[in-house]
Amino acid sequence: MKRWVLVGVAALCLLAGCGRKTGKTLHVYTWADYIKPELVERFEKENACRVVIDTFDSNEAMYAKIKAGATGYDVIFPSSYMARMLHDQDMIQALDQSKLPNIANVDADYLRIAMDPRMTYSVPYMISYAGLATIEGKVKDFDATWAMLDRKDLAGRMTMLNDMRETIGAALKFLGYSLNTVDEKQLQEARDVVIRWKKNLAKFEAEQYKTGLASGEFLVVHGYSGDILQVAEEAEGVRFVQPREGFSVACDDMVIPVGAPQPDLAHAFINFLHDPQVAAENTEFIMYACPNSPSYALLPEELRNDPVLFPSPEVRVKGEVIEDLGAKNDLYIRIWDEIKGAE
């Protein structure tokens, strides 16, 4: 069985409560396959509670649901730029750091580029890099460039992320621009590139590209480093590259929404996930790097030296962090709508 199937089964178990009857329930809203199920069970036992997990497949989908009035969540896992947006719109609450002693373990090097370096409203969870992946031998002349998406011979066998900032950002980097640009001309150029690429895509996809790559349904996918490393554990010959034109660096954060029913339990959950042993175990399972300094030494040597999990400085310098653009986010929303509506 594929890991993501196993995690899905575990998630259903969590949603059902697995027969446990407890007085407290922690409601988590996060990405799919994003925490080791055994760690959730350990937290439940240690805190005499039940954890219910709901998932989203893009920051925009999560934001739209919360903005529309969805309530009842205790911890949400947005990317950093979205966490900033939620903060600026008073949708999440300030954190009580006295209840988060383990944030002392957060990697100081990461905090130097973080949007919330003092962790006043968010705590970093996992770092990811976007890029392209294939199965060795399936694609002739596979190269580390976004230009792969122009390959007409691969039409119908490629996917891009169903994520506004990631996909427009890929085109911006391909053109030599910042993925945080607010220059309308540059964004229009990026729109035209994505529309051109769209003709070669099977679809915009943020979840099934993993199984599609492993099965051979898709030959080239735009995806996240951790997802591809998960696929590599189940399928032979998986190759992930960060395009030489540049790529996005993202960190998903943990935040507590305004009106969370269980704020104390939410703090306990965030603190739990930054216990070094927990962070290492979680990293080894989901194959994303938790920016928790003491946890690095607890990882197997092969993971500490994995260039996808921990890219070299020469590769990292080509990455760019996606930022919240405030009112200028509307520019990206308009461009994305035009891309989705294009033939």
CATH number for the domain harbouring residue 295: 3.40.190.10
The single residue listed with the structure tokens 């996808």 is 308
Residues 166, 80 within the same domain: no
Q: Where are the alpha helices (DSSP H) in 154-203?
A: 164-174, 184-198
What mean pLDDT is predicted for residues 255-275?
A: 98
Residues 293, 322 within the same domain: no
Which strands make up the sheet holding 24-31, listed edge to edge?
Answer: 49-56, 24-31, 75-76
Residue 180 to residue 187: CA distance in whole angstroms? 10
Residues 241, 321 within the same domain: yes
Bridge partner list, 55: 30
Residue 96 to residue 169: CA distance in whole angstroms? 34
Residue 199 to residue 196: CA distance in whole angstroms? 6
Answer yes or no: are the C-beta atoms of 86 and 56 closer than 8 Å: no
Task: Summarize pLDDT for 75-110 with one digit per residue, the tens.
Answer: 999 999 999 999 999 999 999 999 999 999 999 999
Residues 201, 271 within the same domain: no
Residues 265, 329 within the same domain: no
Task: Summarize pLDDT for 42-59 with one digit per residue, the tens.
Answer: 999 999 999 999 999 889
Q: Which pLDDT score, from 0 to 100, does residue 5 have? A: 38
Residues 11, 101 within the same domain: yes
pTM: 0.82
Distances (CA, A) of 176 to 224, 244, 275, 306: 21, 11, 40, 28
pLDDT bucket at 133, cuts 50 / 70 / 90: very high
The region of weakest confidence among 13-22, 69-78, 132-141 is: 13-22
Answer yes or no: are the C-beta atoms of 177 and 190 closer than 8 Å: yes
Residues 173, 55 within the same domain: no
Residues 268, 320 within the same domain: no
Residues 318, 272 within the same domain: no
Answer yes or no: are the C-beta atoms of 89 and 264 closer than 8 Å: no
Residues 187, 245 within the same domain: yes
Sign of CA dihedral 19, 207, 116, 184: negative
Residues 12, 122 within the same domain: yes
Residues spanned by the domain of 13: 3-127+251-304
Residues 212, 257 within the same domain: no
Residue 343 to residue 84: CA distance in whole angstroms? 33
Report the mean per-residue pLDDT for the chain.
92
Antiparallel, parallel or unpaired: β 220-224 and 24-31: unpaired
Q: Which pLDDT score, from 0 to 100, does residue 343 have? A: 82
Q: State how many domains the chain has.
A: 2
Distances (CA, A) of 133 to 232, 238, 255, 275, 290: 10, 7, 30, 32, 22
What mean pLDDT is predicted for residues 63-67?
A: 95
Q: In which element (H, E) is residue 294 found?
A: helix 293-296
